[in-house]
Each structure stands twice: as C-alpha cells, then as structure tokens.
Structure 1
Amino acid sequence: MKHSKRFPHLLSCGLLAGMSDAARSKFVDDCNLRTFGTKTTILSQGEMGSGLLFVADGSVEVSYVSEDGNQAVVYVSVTGDVLGVVEAIAERPYAASCKALPGTTLLFCSKAQLDQQLSCPAFVRNFAGYIHDLLERDNRNQAVHQFYTAEQRICTYLHELSARRSDLRLSQSYLATVAGCSRQTVNRELGVLRDAGFISLARGQINVLDRAALLVRISSFETG
C-alpha cells in the first residue's frame, strides 16, 4: 500500500499546503518507511542534517544537551509532525537529538528529494510558515515553564500533545520529565483530571477526553 493511502493525514501537513493533490501524494509516497519497536535514536545532535522525517504514527522525544552535559527534553513530537527539515535545507547540524518511542512509524525524505521541492513557491512559503510556528511554540513553552505551576504545565502539555490525536502513548514518569516536575505531582494531577472526566488512563497511555476542559483547568489556577 502506498504511504499516501496508509497515512492520508500526512497529506494535510502544513509543509505541503497549496501543492496539488498529485504533488503531495508523490512527496509522501517517495519517502522511506521506518518503524521502531523500541526507543531508538533517529537524529543525533551535532550530526549533519540528511533529510526530514514525518511522524506517521507515534511519538518522538526531542532533547537537547548543553555544553556542560545537562540534558533536557524540550518537546515531544506526535503524529503529523515534521522533524529535521530546517537542518536539511540549511545544511546545518541537527540542533537536538530525537528518539522514536516504541511503536512509532516514520517516513524519511532525503535531502535530494527535499531540494527538488525548493523550486516550488508553495513549499518555500510553507517552510517559512513552519519556522514561524516553531518560534511561536518555543516562546509559548518558555512562558509556560517560567510562569505556570506544575499542574498548569501538565495540563498545557496534555492539551498541546492531543491536538492531532487523543490517545497519547506517554507514561506518567515521561510526562513528569517533560513538564519539569515530580512523578508524584503528575500522578496527583492526572488523578484529578481522571476523576473530573477530562482524561482516562491505561498502562503507558493517556487518553484526552475533553481538551477544552484542560484549558478551563489551566485558567482556574490563574483566577483561583
């Protein structure tokens, strides 16, 4: 089965907006399929960019190691996200490392394939839009970490990560790392959200049932 048929949601990726149906399908179909059963490093910080990766299904941990050796999880990419495109086009080293979580499927597009798209005005415009979205996300996350309580951070990340799919394959300890708080705090807040009917919990998975309610929960700390 062609990738565009198996993963039709990728055709709606912002990077391909404004391109013809045939061009979008060809772009996705020409990618190479990669599936990971265990947590696996797929991009390494400091290595030269060799292409982009579509997250066809699953999640990818994005982390940064500082010059003094401290590692921080800066983002979790979910289904529909794109990784490595900036470095591949700019011919720069990857700015962070990426690890595919178990059960993740990716589509790899080589730099040669990517370079062919640079003659397409729609693709160039979409790429600029992608950079803009990254800036907005980083600014938003910085504000979240600086001004929000641990409970607000947990709700914010659940709301953000569930934008494309409601079933998040994330453990409580993993969410604690991303939100920058203790596992006990995550466990307590998830219990509150579960009892309120905002989420449901399964082993290694969090199902977001009411995204709008998460925003209300975040605001309640600001006004309470």
Structure 2
Amino acid sequence: MEEAAWPPGTLLGRLRASARERLLSVGVRRSVKEAQVLLREGALESHVILLDDALVKVTVSLSDGRHALLAIRVSGDIVGEISALNGTPRTATVTTCRPSIIRIIHRNAFRAVLHDNPEAALEMAGIVADRLRWANRRRIDFTSYPVRVRLARVLWELAVAYGRRSPRGLIIDIRLTQDELATLCGAAEISLQKALGGLRADGIVATGYREIVVRDGKALRSIADLD
C-alpha cells in the first residue's frame, strides 16, 4: 500500500518510514479468504499479525454460547500483540470480514523490531493504551446511557473510522450480525432491534444486505450526545 494509505491511528500509520519498512520486512505475506479465523481465543501461540490490506473483527465467547464483538481492525493495524508481549493464551478470536492480505510476524522477530526501534516500541505502547482507554469508555457508556444513545455512538464511530461516502450517505459495509452489533452496544438483541428500528423510522439510518447507511450524520451525532 502507499504510505499515505495507512490510517493515522494504526501502527503503520504512526511509524516513520524506516520503522514501518522494518516491520513489514519481517512479516510473511499471506492472502486469506473472507470469514477465515486468523487467531483463535485460548490458543497457545505467540505470533502477531500485521494487517496489510485487511478488515477483521475481534470477538470473544460468552458464557451463554454467544460471541461478543469487541472491535474492528483495519489495514495498518496489528492484532495478537498481547500474547506476543506477555506469552499468555489468545484473549480473543480474530476473523476476516473480506478477502485480505496479512503479514505473519513471529514473536522473536516482533520483539527484536521493538527492541531495535524505540519509536516503534513507544507507538506500540500507545496503541495498547488507546485500546484500554476505548474499553474503559465503552464500559462507562454501558452504565450511563440508554441503548439508543449507545447504538448511535457505535454507529458513528464505525461510520467515521470505516465508512465510505456515497450519494446515499456514509456506508458501513462491514458484515456484522445484529447479535454482534448488540454485544458491541452492550444491549440485548431485542433492545438493539428496537433502537435500530427507531433510527430507521426517523430517517437517520437505513439498513440493507450486509450494510448500514448513515443518512443523517448530524442527527446521529446529536442522539449520540457527541456535540
């Protein structure tokens, strides 16, 4: 990918060219299909995966057999870093949302890059801190806001981070089930359906096959209490 194509919040987007090229060079490039599991929760392995041209979802298993969606990761992001840094089993499952290109980096190579490039180590620490901050904010949202507000916040975050503009609005064409969207919002699926139906009835969003369209971003931000 071109340097300018890496989203600024991702690891590759944060690094200078020399550190970025070093990290890319130690990865084994692979093409993978849609719906392929890249990392599996509980597995005893320690490599990391750099998303070269990819879109993946991060999920965890719940006690009732369902799966909770924790995050979406995009090109330039890294996944699997916790196991590589502290040697613990995988904490989540990572699955591709579309055909993707990834780079597999073994633990020793990854740690060597961080050791030899203090900038890369600092940026990696910053990403871990950002993800922890995001998780803490999400917990506050769960306890402080009704489902409609939580849904609006999640949809706005997804639209800004991963949406593509069209005459219809901001299109979120990530394959997410309503159950996954509900767990991302911290809501029961029936409550999620009601809240989503309300946003549709108000003309703020539209839904279709494998996509959600944000038709009125200003109204969605207002409901999300982000103004």
TM-score w.r.t. structure 1 length?
A: 0.76
Amino acid aligned to 2:154: Y
Query: Is it true that 1:94 corresponds to 2:90 in the alignment?
Result: yes
Deviations 1:178-203, CA, capped at 9 Å, x for gaps: 33434444344334434545333221
- Unmatched segments (≥5 aa) in structure 2: 164-171
Aligned partners of 2:65 and 2:21: how far apart in 1? Answer: 41
TM-score w.r.t. structure 2 length?
A: 0.76
| Worse overlay, 11-20 or 152-161 | 11-20
Aligned partners of 1:18 and 1:55: how far apart in 2? Answer: 14
Alignment correspondent of 1:155: 152
Alignment correspondent of 1:114: 110
- Unmatched segments (≥5 aa) in structure 1: none
1:113-132 equivalences under 5 Å are 113-118=109-114, 119-132=116-129
Amino acid aligned to 1:205: E
The Cα of 1:21 is off from its aligned counterpart by 2.0
- Relative distance call for 1:17 and 1:58 in structure 2 (3 A) is closer
- Relative distance call for 1:85 and 1:211 in structure 2 (3 A) is farther
Alignment correspondent of 1:200: 206
Deviations 1:90-137, CA, capped at 9 Å, x for gaps: 222212222323x24252331243123112111111111112112111
Aligned partners of 1:198 and 1:55: how far apart in 2? Answer: 33
Amino acid aligned to 2:82: V
- Relative distance call for 1:173 and 1:64 in structure 2 (3 A) is closer
Structure 1 vs Structure 2 CA RMSD? 3.0
Aligned partners of 2:25 and 2:205: how far apart in 1? Answer: 35
Deviations 1:126-154, CA, capped at 9 Å, x for gaps: 11111211211111111122222121221
Query: Is it true that 1:42 corresponds to 2:42 in the alignment?
Result: no
Contact kept? 1:59, 1:104, Cα under 8 Å: no
Contact kept? 1:49, 1:87, Cα under 8 Å: yes
Alignment correspondent of 1:136: 133
Aligned partners of 1:134 and 1:114: how far apart in 2? Answer: 19
